[in-house]
Structure 1
Amino acid sequence: MFIVIAGILAVVGALTGAYYFAMRPVVLKIAVGPPNSDDLKVVQALTQAFSQSHASVRLRPVPTEGAAQSAQALAAGKVDLAIVRGDLEVPKNAQAVATLRKNVAVLWVPPGGKGKGRKGAKITKISQLAGHKVGIIGRTPANANLLKVILHQYGVDASKVEIVQVPITEAAEAVRNQRADVYLAAGPINSKITADAIAAATKDGGTPTFLAIDSAEAIAQNHPEYESTEIPAGAFGGSPDRPEDEVKTISFNHHIVARKGLSDSTVSAFTHQLFSVRQQLLSEFPLAAKIETPDTDKDAAIPAHPGAAAFINGEEKTFLDRYSDYIWWSLMALSAMGSAGAWFAGYLKRDERTINTSLRDRLLEMITIARKCDSTEELDQLQAEADEILRNTLTCFEDGAIEHAALTAFNIALEQFHNAVADRKLILMSMPANLQRTGAQLRAAGT
């Protein structure tokens, strides 16, 4: 019994421990950068929202210098999640969880001044950029690579274009001071950084010229990380609208990716939380509205994580779905331990059962002896022996050595013994004493 109880407690403890470890919050480290960027602000807002809602998955931001460094941290296994830029090299162990935002490339020529070009001709096409200076908003090398991809598509030698990269914090001032002929910004359509830079270019009046990337489809065909898109009229405000008409351009995404080995259930729970709190953040952080589901097609540029795909396709597994096999095997183990415990307990009681069986056989023999007794003294001795057998039998029953059916059989035998003793005493009491002695002597002589 002690062994069975110990086994039950062990199984219950194991199930309790498994439930605790399955339900405790999982903390995921997410690499994001650069510091003070909108991406970092979004992640910080998500971290706070998950904590306040006591979600099962929590975030721990790991600031980096940029998307490239975040990708390296994921590739090295230092973090669980990362914000990466789709047009940079994506780690082989990265799988998409969500699209954080879509960025568009914006090329514009400031009105007046250097905007007319060093050779006097106003710049209206990308093919005219040779021999001019292009100012890139942001210090990341990825934007310079983006410009080179565009120039290559139009047959412009990148070595003949002077590239000047300016920090985001100095973008408006650089544009205002006309440090370049043309400017390139890459960010969301509603990016305040891009809008402020364009506004700075038109502070003294005039309308900037937006350069369309008419070969956007061709670029997307040759570079799957890019897509063809359009900047809607009036996207950057102003009067007249900036731009006045739709402008064709290319776009790329910033993704939230997870390392390949991360648990499907954890990623599924994170994805569920991500899209659940997105609406809550819109009022105080509009950029959260840009979070979208990833491409779950098998030929996607970044394959979707199975956990994220399960959430998107409505195939999430519940607690019972994930752990039903463990629960079933635990119950089977508990049943096996109970059976083994019962067998072991019976094995320990085998000697006691054997003795009780011999005592019952002895009681049956005593019924025959009682019917032939010639004196009440002998019957009294048999009665005393039967009392002792009864005591031993009850002790065996209390110890579990015999079952209720065996006790019932013993009661029948004991009742027959009492009847035999009572019948024999009536017979002896009706016989004269001398006949009792004679019968006893004859039986003694025959023996």
Structure 2
Amino acid sequence: MLITLAGLLAIVGALAGAYYFAMRPVTLRIAVGPANSDDVKLVQALTQAFTHAHGQVRLRPVQTDGATASAKELADGKVDLAIIRGDLDVPKNAQAVATLRKNVAVLWVPPPARGKAKKTGAKITKISQLAGRRVGVVGRTQANVNLLKVILQQYGVDPGKVEIVQFPAPEAVEAIRNQKADAYLAAGPVNSKITADAIAASTKDGGTATFLAIDSNEAIAQNHPAYEAAEIPAGAFGGSPDRPEDEVKTISFAHHIVARKGLSEATIAAFTRQLFAVRQQLMTEFPLAAKIETPDTDKDAAIPVHPGAAAFVDGEEKTFLDRYSDYIWWGLMALSAMGSLGAWFAGYLKKDERGNNTSLRERLLEMIAAARRCDSTEELDQMQAEADDILRDTLLCFDHGAIEEGALAAFNIALEQLHHAVADRKALLLSIAQNLQRAGAQFRATGTL
């Protein structure tokens, strides 16, 4: 019984330990950048929300210089998660977890500045007229320059014939106010404050900005899978009149949260579940959180989805028992086998003691037969003493577990038979002795007479 109880406690302890290690919080390192960007602020808010929720997954931000550096950190295996741009080189070990936001390319031409001579050349109304002009790109990342080159090449404009100048986002408004370029490109969410401020700065002296439509957006999306055809809704950037006044065709690309390939399916499923659970809480402080979407789970997606995120999206997330039922079953089978093996080994160690007890039982049976033929009460007393010794040894064997209750019951029957045989034989011998004494007394009495 003690062995059984110990086994049950061992099983309960093993299950409790397995549950603890399976459900303990996991900290994931996430690469994000650049410093002071909306992405960094959003990740910091997610980190705090995950901590306060006491969820299974915690975050540890790793700040980088931008999406390119974040992708490299993931490719080198230094982080578990990263925020990357879909139109840049995606690491081979990256799998999509969520779409953080979708960005649109905005191309516009500012109105001529008041009090200044008009620049030579026709007014820019089409992308094909950008050849020989100066185009300002908002943001210091090379990815935005590459985006402009893709657009120019689609319209047959040699990027080498276009002067491209970049303005870091904090300096873009001042540069645009000083009319540093003939046209501008910005990339960001439709409600991007950076883009809206840049457009407003270009119209500070009045007039209306001219938005250049990318009518070949579907062709660009077909030739470059990282881009999608999109539209900028009228009035997306505010102002009076609306900026833009009508819908404008453009292309879009996504920022993704990606995970390192091979990361635990259960961990990423838990992260995805927590991400969409806290998204509602963050919308008030970070409107950007409303843009978070589930990843594309199609097999031909530009970035393959992580199995854990796919399980969450498809409603096939596994529970604790689903994940570990096989291990629990095989563990119980192993414990059962170990218990059987232990019992066999314990029996093997006691085989000599058990064999000795068997010989003692055979000795009892021999003593029963001998007692029935015995002619001496002294020998019967010796047999009784020997039976007492056998009883003592048998009880010790039972205490040691060498024999079971069935064997003890059989021994008890043999012992009782011996007691009966000895008692009956003693009674017979005593009766014979008394009869002989009476016969002798009668003989002496008869001879005297």
Query: Alignment length, in residue pairs?
Result: 437
Note the 1:408-423 alignment, pairs <5 A: 408-423=409-424
Tell me if structure 2 keeps the 8 A contact 1:30–1:81: yes
- Measured against aligned partners, the alpha-carbon deviations of 1:9-33 in whole angstroms (never above 9, x if no partner) come to 8776655544333222111111111
- Measured against aligned partners, the alpha-carbon deviations of 1:102-158 in whole angstroms (never above 9, x if no partner) come to 000011111222999732422111111112111111010110110111111111121
Residues in 2 aligned to 1:384 and 1:433: alpha-carbon distance in whole angstroms? 26
1:445 matched residue in structure 2: none
Note the 1:36-115 alignment, pairs <5 A: 36-113=36-113
Amino acid at match of 1:353: R
* Superposition deviation, residue 204 in structure 1: 2.4
SS of the equivalent of 2:295 reads coil
Q: Does 1:308 align with 2:277?
A: no
- Measured against aligned partners, the alpha-carbon deviations of 1:341-363 in whole angstroms (never above 9, x if no partner) come to 11111111111111111111111
SS of the equivalent of 1:272 reads helix
SS of the equivalent of 2:423 reads helix
2:122 matched residue in structure 1: 121
Note the 1:139-288 alignment, pairs <5 A: 139-288=140-289
Residues in 1 aligned to 2:174 and 2:423: alpha-carbon distance in whole angstroms? 124
Amino acid at match of 1:422: A
- Measured against aligned partners, the alpha-carbon deviations of 1:387-440 in whole angstroms (never above 9, x if no partner) come to 11111111111110100000011111111112222222222232235849x9xx
1:338 matched residue in structure 2: 339
Aligned CA distance change for structure 1 residues 199 and 116 (closer, same or farther; 3 Å): farther
Tell me if structure 1 keeps the 8 A contact 2:33–2:64: yes
Aligned CA distance change for structure 1 residues 21 and 217 (closer, same or farther; 3 Å): same
Amino acid at match of 2:170: T
Q: What runs of 5+ residues in structure 1 fail to find an aligned partner?
A: 439-447
Residues in 1 aligned to 2:120 and 2:348: alpha-carbon distance in whole angstroms? 105
SS of the equivalent of 1:252 reads strand
SS of the equivalent of 2:402 reads coil
Query: TM-score with structure 2 length normalisation?
Result: 0.92
Q: Which moved more, 1:180-189 or 1:117-126?
A: 117-126
2:447 matched residue in structure 1: none
* Superposition deviation, residue 373 in structure 1: 2.4
Q: Which moved more, 1:77-86 or 1:315-324?
A: 315-324
Tell me if structure 2 keeps the 8 A contact 1:74–1:80: yes
* Superposition deviation, residue 91 in structure 1: 0.9
- Measured against aligned partners, the alpha-carbon deviations of 1:71-104 in whole angstroms (never above 9, x if no partner) come to 1111111111111101111111111111000000
* Superposition deviation, residue 177 in structure 1: 1.4
Residues in 2 aligned to 1:4 and 1:417: alpha-carbon distance in whole angstroms? 37
Amino acid at match of 1:301: A
* Superposition deviation, residue 376 in structure 1: 2.8
Q: Which moved more, 1:113-122 or 1:421-430?
A: 113-122
Residues in 2 aligned to 1:321 and 1:44: alpha-carbon distance in whole angstroms? 33
SS of the equivalent of 2:58 reads strand
Tell me if structure 2 keeps the 8 A contact 1:86–1:252: yes
Residues in 1 aligned to 2:178 and 2:308: alpha-carbon distance in whole angstroms? 50
Aligned CA distance change for structure 1 residues 209 and 363 (closer, same or farther; 3 Å): same
SS of the equivalent of 1:113 reads coil
SS of the equivalent of 1:203 reads coil
Tell me if structure 1 keeps the 8 A contact 2:108–2:185: yes
1:441 matched residue in structure 2: none
Amino acid at match of 1:344: F
Residues in 1 aligned to 2:5 and 2:316: alpha-carbon distance in whole angstroms? 40
2:431 matched residue in structure 1: 430
Residues in 2 aligned to 1:434 and 1:229: alpha-carbon distance in whole angstroms? 129
Amino acid at match of 1:87: D
* Superposition deviation, residue 2 in structure 1: 10
Amino acid at match of 1:182: A
Residues in 2 aligned to 1:173 and 1:345: alpha-carbon distance in whole angstroms? 88
* Superposition deviation, residue 259 in structure 1: 1.3
Q: What runs of 5+ residues in structure 2 fail to find an aligned partner?
A: 440-449
Amino acid at match of 1:88: L
1:354 matched residue in structure 2: 355
Residues in 2 aligned to 1:410 and 1:10: alpha-carbon distance in whole angstroms? 36
Amino acid at match of 2:49: A
2:25 matched residue in structure 1: 25
- Measured against aligned partners, the alpha-carbon deviations of 1:314-357 in whole angstroms (never above 9, x if no partner) come to 11121122222222222122111111111111111111111111
Tell me if structure 2 keeps the 8 A contact 1:29–1:81: yes
Residues in 1 aligned to 2:424 and 2:391: alpha-carbon distance in whole angstroms? 20
Tell me if structure 2 keeps the 8 A contact 1:3–1:341: no
Residues in 1 aligned to 2:155 and 2:227: alpha-carbon distance in whole angstroms? 16
Query: TM-score with structure 1 length normalisation?
Result: 0.93
SS of the equivalent of 1:170 reads helix
Tell me if structure 1 keeps the 8 A contact 2:112–2:118: no
- Measured against aligned partners, the alpha-carbon deviations of 1:33-66 in whole angstroms (never above 9, x if no partner) come to 1111111111111111111111111111111111
Tell me if structure 2 keeps the 8 A contact 1:212–1:248: yes
Aligned CA distance change for structure 1 residues 251 and 431 (closer, same or farther; 3 Å): same
* Superposition deviation, residue 294 in structure 1: 0.9
Aligned CA distance change for structure 1 residues 179 and 95 (closer, same or farther; 3 Å): same
Q: Which moved more, 1:79-88 or 1:195-204?
A: 195-204
Residues in 1 aligned to 2:117 and 2:262: alpha-carbon distance in whole angstroms? 54
Tell me if structure 2 keeps the 8 A contact 1:7–1:337: no
SS of the equivalent of 2:256 reads strand
Tell me if structure 1 keeps the 8 A contact 2:113–2:205: no
Q: Which moved more, 1:85-94 or 1:313-322?
A: 313-322
Using the aligned pairs only, state the percent identity: 78
* Superposition deviation, residue 179 in structure 1: 1.1
Amino acid at match of 2:385: A
SS of the equivalent of 1:47 reads helix
